[in-house]
Structure 1
Amino acid sequence: MGEFDAIRPYDDAEVPAVLARLLSDPAFLDILTHYRFPRAASLFGWLLKPLIARKLRQQFAGVSCVSTLQDKVEYYVDRTIDKATDGVTYTGVEQLKSGTPYLFFANHRDIVMDPAFVNYAVYHAGLPTPRIAIGDNLLQKPFVSDMMRLNKSFIVHRSLTGRREKLAAYQQLSAYINHSIREDGASIWIAQAEGRAKDGDDRTESAILKMFHMSRKDEPFGAVIQSLNLIPVTISYEYDPCDLAKARELYIRATTGSYTKAPGEDDKSIALGITGYKGRVHIHFAPPVTTYHDDTKQLAQAIDQQILAGYRLFPVHYLAYAMWADKDDSLQVPSAEQVFPRDELDKAKAQWQSRLDACPAEQRPYLVLQYATPVRNQYQVKRQSDVLG
């Protein structure tokens, strides 16, 4: 057994056997049937499932490597993006060099779509897609694990409780990320924090930066980071399909002190995040971090500045900020009317009002918070830049 076999993505030689297993998995076929035929699945699932399995086997016949599989899957990704967004744009992708592996270090709002949108930008730039870090808490079902590891995902063990086990898992993760970039020449995508930023406040967890260094402790921290070609990435959604669920969770946490997920809640979040309406989406790739940083605190601050400055603010963000009880008037944030044309703003006002109407009154401050926080963060970065510049 290889050093990283327990966490690494599947390699080319494993693809045919894993595909065959996946396309015979009743749970996987059941989910596909309900997604493709939501009304007929309950009554006619027994008939539809074998038909879907047969069609998929025909479509994926002859697929014997990961890159060919991704070429096939790209059609479905593009179709999902077309249905669930008003378009995807990206900036900074032109600086990525063929043959250079990167550590894509991104803000985290959606479990599946964050890395999918980075993949989308990189794939359409004609570059190899990165390997994706995914928490084992999302891999409860065998078919989910198979599906993600076929698509270049590697496992981050988050459910471990023992201190020694956690330390060993982080050591292995650190070694794998460094090996992937320095030995395999394969890029990595990982989120800047373990959980999604449900309050809209994108901040880098220093523990993740510390993890990158764990397997190379005999080298200076700054030199290790420089060797990984770390690129801060900002993913901006005009609308978050899970915003009402996040507002509810934030409200319950604030009023009771804790929140317990219901059975199947992660599955629902994943499905809604993929299929729900997002409006416009923008992905920004900042320049690689080349400055030498002595410690994680310094580096986290530098990354946060890049990620927050790279956020694409849409009309809804300014509308939410204007009604936010905690807005900072000293930041001199312009009104939405000063920034956006009338027709764009009218559409955004209608969409924003429908979201407010769908949110229980006591939870609305937490809905506003999600959309207003990126505005505050970006204008704080701008003010800091103006002071320094």
Structure 2
Amino acid sequence: MEKFDAIRPFYDSEINEGILKVIDHPMMKALMCFCFPGVEDAIWKAQLKKTYSVRDFQCNFIYYGVKQVLGKSSDGLTTSGFEKLEKNTAYLYISNHRDIVLDTTLLNASLFEHGLNMTSSAIGDNLVKKPFLKILAKLNRNFLVQRGLTPREMLLSSKLLAEYMAQMLLHENRSVWIAQREGRTKDGNDETNSGVLKMIGMGSDEPNLMDYFKKIKVVPVSISYEYDPTDALKMPQLIAEANNETYIKEKNEDFMTLLSGIIGQKKRIHIHIGDVLDTEIDEIKSNFDTSNKQIQALAQVIDNSILSNYKLWTTNYIAYDIVNNSTTYSHLYTGNEKLLFERRLEMRIDHEHEVAKQGFLDMYANPVVNKLKYGNAE
């Protein structure tokens, strides 16, 4: 369908041509050497040249890159909730968003390991300005969310995006991943932006919007990292906001953040798949009479799932105790773990900058604060 050409990933019929355009690019060599250390260029090039589908590219190349990332920069990935999903079924995964590339890549690797449909994933077009990255994104079944538009352009772009998501979910049996808000959370507060849900709803052909959300099978996803490899990189924006300044990114900031997320130390990672929102949507439909109120209620239900199922790590408890000058959770971490966390803070943040120090601590502490709203945070 030509109307989606500006934002869609490659069709399988275009995959090989896309690969051949970048096979000799130095960044492709770097990627393949990372995925397959010690393997001669001629071998991975020969395999790439025989690749004719997105699934083959993801399973035979990207998946091995994920295993390398986990092996070199984490203490492992654990998952829960995947057993609730049905094979050969399309879902709309709405998740909190911590890392530009890893959130969706790790989710897809987990879906692959569980024999489930992998996703087509939203990515801001600001992240793929470089031609190589744009081709790589399209090879990896990313679709583009257009940024920096005028209000009128934004409306048209949002409608196109919504229609494309509906096309994949309802007509191509393709799962879709989208973040609960635009951009990654910088302060550890994971909150669903109702604007994202309104955009998704623009693809609806149902008289009642909740009937559409029920039809596309919304699944909240909670992703947590023990250490955020880009924690310090998020501080300049928080400082600017604290000073009521407009934050302007450095020229290659997005690319450096992307790279840091992949190679930076994450320690333990957990992905939890929430329940498919079904009875919850029925209740929203019967309890709220306007689409605006229904959207707000749906955002709250998604938040409830993401926050209550978020996996807390020692780093979260340590930061909470430091911020509150307490020992509330000291039984959940060792003295050595606290020293390591304080050392990380010391090395990554200028201690003369109180806003940055507080922002760093809040990033790790806020998930505990949010979980406390749902009862015990342990």
* TM-score using structure 2 length: 0.89
2:101 corresponds to 1:112:
yes
CA distance in 2, matches of 1:131, 1:278: 24
CA distance in 1, matches of 2:165, 2:196: 12
- Counterpart of 2:123 in 1: which secondary structure? strand
What's 1:220 paired with?
208
Q: CA deviation at 1:89?
A: 0.3
Cα distance change of structure 1 residues 347 and 180 upon mapping to structure 2, 3 Å threshold: farther
CA distance in 2, matches of 1:79, 1:25: 21
> After the TM superposition, which of the residue ranges 144-153 and 244-253 deviates more from structure 2?
244-253
Q: 2:175 aligns with which of 169, 187, 195?
A: 187
Q: 1:368 aligns with which of 349, 361, 373?
A: 361
- Counterpart of 1:3 in 2: which secondary structure? helix
Unpaired stretches in structure 1, ≥5 consecutive residues: 37-50
- Counterpart of 1:287 in 2: which secondary structure? coil
Tell me if the contact between 1:102 and 1:181 (Cα under 8 Å) persists in the aligned partners.
yes
2:199 corresponds to 1:211:
yes
Cα distance change of structure 1 residues 35 and 123 upon mapping to structure 2, 3 Å threshold: closer
What's 2:22 paired with?
22
After superposition, the C-alpha distances for 1:174-196 in whole angstroms (9 at most, x for unaligned) are 11111111100000010000011
Q: CA deviation at 1:24?
A: 3.2
Q: CA deviation at 1:350?
A: 2.9
Tell me if the contact between 1:131 and 1:188 (Cα under 8 Å) persists in the aligned partners.
yes
2:76 corresponds to 1:87:
yes
After superposition, the C-alpha distances for 1:179-216 in whole angstroms (9 at most, x for unaligned) are 11110000001000001110000000001111111132
Tell me if the contact between 2:7 and 2:144 (Cα under 8 Å) persists in the aligned partners.
yes
Cα distance change of structure 1 residues 64 and 217 upon mapping to structure 2, 3 Å threshold: closer
Counterpart residue type for residue 301 of structure 1: Q
CA distance in 2, matches of 1:220, 1:172: 20
CA distance in 1, matches of 2:250, 2:200: 33
Counterpart residue type for residue 178 of structure 2: I
- Counterpart of 1:381 in 2: which secondary structure? coil
Summarize the alignment of residues 305-316 of structure 1 with structure 2, pairs less than 5 Å apart.
305-316=304-315
Tell me if the contact between 1:131 and 1:187 (Cα under 8 Å) persists in the aligned partners.
yes
Tell me if the contact between 2:32 and 2:44 (Cα under 8 Å) persists in the aligned partners.
no
What's 2:120 paired with?
131
> After the TM superposition, which of the residue ranges 97-106 and 73-82 deviates more from structure 2?
73-82
Summarize the alignment of residues 293-304 of structure 1 with structure 2, pairs less than 5 Å apart.
293-294=284-285, 295-304=294-303
What's 2:11 paired with?
11
Summarize the alignment of residues 232-381 of structure 1 with structure 2, pairs less than 5 Å apart.
232-255=220-243, 257-290=245-278, 291=280, 292=282, 293-294=284-285, 295-324=294-323, 335-340=328-333, 345-358=334-347, 359-361=349-351, 362=353, 363-381=356-374
Cα distance change of structure 1 residues 256 and 33 upon mapping to structure 2, 3 Å threshold: farther
Tell me if the contact between 1:60 and 1:72 (Cα under 8 Å) persists in the aligned partners.
no
After superposition, the C-alpha distances for 1:245-282 in whole angstroms (9 at most, x for unaligned) are 21233123313522211111111100000110001000
Q: 1:150 aligns with which of 118, 139, 142?
A: 139
Tell me if the contact between 1:29 and 1:52 (Cα under 8 Å) persists in the aligned partners.
no
Unpaired stretches in structure 2, ≥5 consecutive residues: 286-293
After superposition, the C-alpha distances for 1:86-109 in whole angstroms (9 at most, x for unaligned) are 010000000010021100100011
Q: CA deviation at 1:61?
A: 2.9
2:159 corresponds to 1:174:
no
After superposition, the C-alpha distances for 1:116-139 in whole angstroms (9 at most, x for unaligned) are 111121111111211011111111
CA distance in 2, matches of 1:244, 1:218: 44
* TM-score using structure 1 length: 0.87
CA distance in 2, matches of 1:264, 1:30: 20
Tell me if the contact between 2:181 and 2:191 (Cα under 8 Å) persists in the aligned partners.
yes
- Counterpart of 2:219 in 1: which secondary structure? strand
> Which 4+ stretches in 1 moved above 4 angstroms?
29-36, 51-55
CA distance in 2, matches of 1:102, 1:12: 21
CA distance in 2, matches of 1:72, 1:378: 38
CA distance in 2, matches of 1:214, 1:5: 19
CA distance in 2, matches of 1:15, 1:245: 34
Q: CA deviation at 1:217?
A: 5.4
Q: CA deviation at 1:300?
A: 0.6
CA distance in 2, matches of 1:34, 1:256: 44
CA distance in 2, matches of 1:71, 1:215: 30
